[in-house]
Structure 1
Amino acid sequence: MNLKAGNVDQFGGFSQFRNLQEFNTHLEMWLALHKDNFSKGELVGLKRLARFAAKIPGVSNAKIGTVLKAIHEDYNGNGISRSTFKRMIAKAAELGIFTVHETERKNGSQSSNLYVFNRFPKSEPPKEEKMDHHNKTSNLSKAIKNQENTKRNETGLDYTFTSDRVPKSFVDIVKYFFPEGKNIEEFWRMTKIAAYRNNRDQHQLLDTAIHSFKQLIRKMKSSFVAKPIAYFYCILNKKLEELYFEELFEMGFTAGNENFCMNFFYKR
């Protein structure tokens, strides 16, 4: 059964956030992970819709036309199309960024949708009833949590204390999931190790490192990862090896150049 249309205030119970700051933080985490899934125009639409979800944090029932008009005014007449906005809605809903509820007027006709933004999911182990060895896994989870708490108490320094040697773009994405400066530096240290092992400059593989970190977060959303930093290193190292063989192929793996490739491989 559809919800009855009305003022956004009546949908306050749908909000999943304590305040606007918490909503913005969760939205930033969603975008850090899924920004590449959207086109430039779709991102404009998503961010503008989020601004309409400020009165009731994370809840908006703004009409599409209203949002498009606001974008048009924000960009001095250079807005986005209705179809672009609808593609954004479909993508964001599929990714879980928000849930769309249809609303209807008193006469039964369809009204504007209700957009309820979701919290970014925490990394949690599978529920115990689905585990084969849940006690062992539960104990391991507690041990890791205790270890993290101990480290946090020892350092007490958040991402703002991260070394300047770590690129800002790398800090900006890691901090939402591992806010401790020491943890961010450790992820970057593993990046440097992977770079050295694969004969690459660490700053040349920044995009690959960020992409590998996103893959780690995807994995953590679906299952328990006991050692995130080690898992990140494995992903990054594998991608660098794949890149190496792609470059090898481009340099010499043609019908008349097999010997060059074999020599190049064994000299690595």
Structure 2
Amino acid sequence: MNLKSGSVDQFESFSQFKDLQEFNAHLEMWLSLHKDKFSKGELAGLKRLVRFAAKIPGVSNAKIGTVLKAIHEEYNGNGISRSTFKRMIAKAANLGIFTVHETERKNGSQASNLYVFNRFPKNDPPKKDKLDHPNKTINLSKTIKNQKSTKRNETFLDHTFTSDHVPQSFISTVKYFFPEARQIEEFWRMAAIAAFKNNCELNTISETAIHSFKQLIRKMKTRAISKPVAYFYGILNKKFEEKYFEELHEIGFPAEDNDFPLNFFYKK
């Protein structure tokens, strides 16, 4: 039986996130892997739908017409078609980004869909406190030794088993210090998250990611780092943010507009 339509507040129990920050973190991870599967128009539709899922984190029952009107106004009359928006819905649902539930009015006629965004099916991104300089310390040689060791019930997979989505240049740099495939993939996942957060294209991040990793290793040789992946993410995020503002400055972007891309998913 279909759900009864009504205010989005009545669907609060469908939310899978404790707050808006957690919702956005999971969405960033979804798009870091699947952003290239959407056209520009479809991506604009998805990101606008995300804004309508801010009141109840990850839940929206906005009408298609309402979303399209908002996009049209945001881009000064250059909106997207209804068919483009529906293609986005089909793609996102198929990828598992969100689940679509049909709703109906009291008279049984079909109403607007309910979009319930799903959690990313991997570990949560590093929390804010984990990105700060840790107090607990260990030396580089001990860190690498511990990284090489595995639990008895786990199978060791070296760098040759790393997923194809990780650039070979990045693998070649990281494998000497963190030889396991899962370790390399985790470092690259953090690079993808940091790049998306700062509006950088995935095909342009390898050089910055490699440079940031070398900075991490240099730090590990001069001081103790207890959480290398989190520290790496912090370096990357800073570099991508600096690069982003440099690009805005080069094209003469007005200062008052600079906040838009960094807060694309919701307005504070």
Tell which structure's C-alpha radius of gyration is larger.
1
Offset from partner CA, 1:103-141 (integer Å, 9 cap, x none):
000000000000000000016xxxxxxxxxxxxx98534
Q: How do 1:23-62 residues align onto structure 2 when only pairs under 5 Å count?
A: 23-62=23-62
Compute the displacement of 1:64 (Å): 0.1
Residue 86, structure 1, aligned to residue 89, structure 2:
no
Compute the displacement of 1:180 (Å): 2.5
More helix by share: 1
Compute the displacement of 1:97 (Å): 0.2
Give SS of 2:120's match: coil
Among 133, 153, 156, the residue aligned to 1:140: 153
CA distance in 2 between partners of 1:25 and 1:93 (Å): 18
1:102 matched residue in structure 2: 102
* Relative contact order higher in (CA < 8 Å, ≥ 6 apart): 2
Give SS of 1:62's match: coil
Q: How many residues align?
A: 152
CA distance in 1 between partners of 2:35 and 2:14 (Å): 25
1:116 matched residue in structure 2: 116
CA distance in 2 between partners of 1:6 and 1:64 (Å): 15
Q: Is the 8 A contact 1:64 1:82 kept in 2?
A: yes
Offset from partner CA, 1:65-123 (integer Å, 9 cap, x none):
00000000000000000000000000000000000000000000000000000000016
CA distance in 2 between partners of 1:93 and 1:25 (Å): 18
Query: Would the alpha carbon gap of residues 140 and 111 (structure 1) be closer, same or farther in structure 2, given more than 3 Å must change?
Result: same
Give SS of 2:50's match: helix
Amino acid corresponding to residue 58 of structure 1 in structure 2: G
Compute the displacement of 1:181 (Å): 3.5
Q: Is the 8 A contact 1:171 1:184 kept in 2?
A: no
Give SS of 1:140's match: coil
Query: Would the alpha carbon gap of residues 55 and 171 (structure 1) be closer, same or farther in structure 2, given more than 3 Å must change?
Result: farther
CA RMSD of aligned residues (A): 3.6
% same residue: 72
Amino acid corresponding to residue 75 of structure 1 in structure 2: Y
Q: Which runs of 4+ in 1 moved over 2 A?
A: 137-144, 165-172, 178-185
CA distance in 2 between partners of 1:15 and 1:171 (Å): 39
Amino acid corresponding to residue 87 of structure 2 in structure 1: R
Compute the displacement of 1:166 (Å): 6.8
Among 230, 234, 257, the residue aligned to 1:180: 230
1:167 matched residue in structure 2: 207
Amino acid corresponding to residue 55 of structure 2 in structure 1: K
Q: How do 1:206-245 residues align onto structure 2 when only pairs under 5 Å count?
A: none
CA distance in 2 between partners of 1:89 and 1:66 (Å): 15
Give SS of 2:153's match: helix
Offset from partner CA, 1:138-193 (integer Å, 9 cap, x none):
8534999xxx9xx9xxxxxx98xx9xx97346799xxxxx94245999xxxxxxxx
2:177 matched residue in structure 1: none
